[in-house]
Chains A and B, each alone.
Chain A
Amino acid sequence: MDGAAASRRRFLQAGIAGGAALATAGAARAAGDPVITEVQDWNRYLGDGVDAAPYGMPSEFESHVVRRDVPWLTADPVSSINFTPLHELDGIITPNGLCFERHHGGTAIIDPADHRLMINGLVDTPLVFTMQDLMRFPRENRVYFLECAANSGMEWRGAQLNGCQFTHGMVHCVVYTGVPLKYLLEEAGVKTSGKWVLAEGADAAAMTRSIPIEKALDDCLVAFKMNGEALRAEQGYPVRLVVPGWEGNMWVKWLRRLEVGDEPWAQREETSKYTDLLANGKARRHTWLMDVKSVITTPSPQAPITHGRGQTVISGLAWSGNGRIKRVDVSLDGGRNWHEARVDGPSLSKALHRFYYDFQWDGSDMLIQSRAMDEAGFIQPTKNELRAARGENSIYHNNGIQTWHVKADGAVENVEVS
């Protein structure tokens, strides 16, 4: 709030106090809710003009709707993660300023005039593009979720963090505008021996991942807009890779280079990291796809039921790297019985889906769960099924069914169930 607005508010608050004193001294007050029966300051005094906020921010009453981090998760806030406040959001689109961040060398600040994208390796002509060049290719607009491979990773051993922001908030979903990666690769001319593409970032981590050429030529985008505006710096401004349905680590930000090769490169982020250790000591690599998943966002530990019994809305998100969500079921009794939820809004491939289950809460304890199914026929497993198959040390790719314990007072807790 600027100084003028602050002083106006103090003036208005003084006015309210004076008005209240007059009302008490005078005739009987009108019966009813005083925010209706009394003239409020926003009914009387003028608000801000159109020149007050060239780039608008959320209402001050929404100041709690913010990304949060968990300091003990990482050694340093620069190579770290924060979390989207899923419990406060609805629909399927994440506001740009609330999209979770994951950096390995902090947010690179790059003037687009100084940014270059190089294509080299097994191509007919290695090329360099400026941002202006990229803006001259035919564009596409696509809505996709981006989920960190480590989303829910802290929950492999059991219930740890109390809130869906922390257990499931390494995900966001926006409209990307960009150039199909296929066009850029074809512009350089991929040789027939080219089977893999290495994507590399321009930040201090110089993030690199190997991507099979089939995926690169299928649906990957080189994106420069999110939700209509330029990428946020923390999301890769001026340009990032979009790898629909696949783990967020591969969506290389500040994209500066694409190399075509005949073998994968076995980079740090696909050997030491983003490989999934199994109970037998073997580790899966190239676990690219994010499997079918869902979570109830309200009620949840950060969003308890405060209205008491009666009509109640359960709201949640479902998504799958395999395509569209076919159905979401909701259980109120820890998975003994299930009810088909209502998916509302766009149902787009590899995007978040919003579901609702509307019911009469009788005020008793509940163990609420959601179970998503995707169009490829995959069904979201329980955490115990995942642990039986993989053990507890995979770190990544935990898409197990989440349970919230709703108590009689409406408080909600992250729990594991039998």
Chain B
Amino acid sequence: EHDGAFKLGRAATEDEVAAWDMDIRPDGVGLPVGSGTVADGEVLYTDNCAVCHGDFGEAVGRWPVLAGGQDTLTDDRPEKTIGSYWPYLSTVYDYVRRAMPFGNARSLSDDDVYAITAYLLYLNDIVEDEEFELSNENFTDIHLPNEENFIPDDREQEAHYADKSEPCMTDCKPDPVGITMRARVLDVTPDSEEENTGG
């Protein structure tokens, strides 16, 4: 049935591939035919998403923040959201359709996901018109603000890795070493019954 060396497995049917292959790339490959408006998305978001992510994407409790945080990436406490951090809109569509709502994944239609994605653009001030309709036709026209700020892994060029000489073994610091911070001061480690170090 196939040319593999072991003749194991069988050919997948087109319907099987279509059922599972739902990933979408930044260039739009994989997008289903469909559309949804900001206004439709607001209703869907309020019904399916706001209980965790807040009415405006600001999040409830420790659930992820989806909107805001623009220009905070160099702050002491950056707020990384779709609008402030994510590089590609394709990831929003893909992930919402793949894994949300949390606990009821795969329950939204393709049009629902277009509408929610449009509403998330609106919450992030990337589109401003409530009548804006996102579809597979105009999807790749949208670019998120932080797209250009991702760089390849260049850890090996950091000074401590680039220098592969033998490390110092003796008298490596001029003065006795001092303690600058203690975990016990924060006291955030879970307690166990027996002791205060959690095991």
**Residues of chain A having any CB pair with chain B under 8 Å:** 64-66, 68-72, 74-76, 78-79, 85, 87-88, 104-105, 118-121, 124-129, 133, 136-137, 158-163, 165-166, 183, 186-189, 198, 200, 204-206, 208, 256-257, 259, 261, 263, 265-268, 271-272, 275, 277, 279-289, 291, 301-302, 329, 333-338, 367, 371, 373, 377-379, 381-382, 385-386, 388-390, 393, 397, 405, 413-418
Contact = CB atoms under 8 A, between A and B. Distances in A.
B199 A416 contact: no
Given A118-B12, A136-B8, A381-B161, A272 B85 contact: yes
Interface in B149-199: 149-155, 158-161, 163-164, 167-173, 176-184, 186, 188-190, 192, 194-199
B22 to A, nearest CB: 8
A225 B27 CA distance: 38
Contacts, number: 286
Interface string B141-152: 000000001111
Interface stretch (B34-42, B97-105, B118-126): B97-105
A160 to B, nearest CB: 6
A146 B118 CA distance: 38
26 contacts: A66-B199, A74-B62, A105-B102, A118-B12, A118-B16, A124-B3, A126-B12, A159-B183, A161-B188, A163-B189, A163-B198, A186-B5, A200-B23, A206-B98, A261-B25, A265-B24, A266-B91, A271-B87, A272-B91, A284-B152, A302-B199, A338-B170, A373-B167, A378-B161, A405-B182, A413-B184
Nearest to A381: B160
B51 interface: no
B183 A162 contact: yes
A285 B91 contact: no
Interface of B: 1-6, 8-12, 16-17, 20-21, 23-27, 52, 61-64, 73-74, 78, 80, 82, 85-88, 90-91, 94-95, 98-99, 102-103, 105, 149-155, 158-161, 163-164, 167-173, 176-184, 186, 188-190, 192, 194-199
A214 to B, nearest CB: 14
A263 B180 contact: no
B8 A137 contact: yes
B2 A187 contact: yes
B8 A415 contact: no
Contact of B169 (A137, A285, A338, A393): A338
A271 B91 contact: yes
Given A64-B192, A187-B2, A338-B172, A271 B12 contact: no
A4 B199 CA distance: 30
Contacts of B168: 338
A116 to B, nearest CB: 8
State the 6 A-B residue pairs at the shortest beta-carbon distance, nearest first: A334-B177, A187-B4, A75-B62, A414-B183, A381-B160, A416-B181
A166 B87 contact: no
B25 A266 contact: yes
B31 to A, nearest CB: 13
B178 A417 contact: yes
Nearest to B87: A271
B23 A336 contact: no
A333 B196 CA distance: 26
Given A66-B199, A187-B6, A385-B159, A329 B169 contact: yes
Contact of A417 (B20, B88, B177): B177
Given A118-B17, A266-B87, A165 B198 contact: yes
Chain B CB count within 10 A is highest, among A65, A88, A336, A390, for A336
A257 B22 CA distance: 11
Contact of A271 (B17, B86, B182): B86
B179 A415 contact: yes
A379 B88 CA distance: 35
